[in-house]
Amino acid sequence: MNYVELLGYAAAFCTTVAFFPQAIKIYKTKHTKDISLGMFLLLTAGVVLWLIYGIIIDSSPIIAANTVTLILDLYILYTKIKLDRFQ
């Protein structure tokens, strides 16, 4: 592994781990009213595009980060849509 790839993994770790506190808070509180649906839809679309890009250029850091981020984003979106009906 070279320094450039290591830098990519470090960046991927930071941007992906940043979603865990929000997902955990939503899981614990079951409250999503203050989260912007539009922002999370746009963010999820961007993550999907980054994932596709990572696959095309065969970049492991981009693929790994965006796969995990997509899972977290989809959990947050699903929960938001589900809970906003009842809040």
Q: How many domains are there within the chain?
A: 1
Q: Say what the pLDDT of residue 19 is.
A: 86
CA distances from 36 to 5, 9, 54, 59, 77 (A): 33, 28, 27, 30, 10
Write out the residue range of the structural domain in which residue 15 sits. Answer: 3-84
Q: What is the mean pLDDT of each run of 10 residues along the chain (87 residues)?
A: 87 88 91 88 94 94 93 92 81
Joined together, the tokens standing for residue 59 give: 């970049």
Task: Assign 32 to helix, strand or coil.
Answer: coil
- Cβ 40 vs Cβ 69: under 8 Å: no
Q: Note the pTM of the prediction, 2 decimals.
A: 0.82
CA distances from 28 to 9, 40, 48, 81 (A): 29, 19, 26, 16
Q: Give the CATH number for residue 48.
A: 1.20.1280.290
Q: Say what the pLDDT of residue 87 is.
A: 63
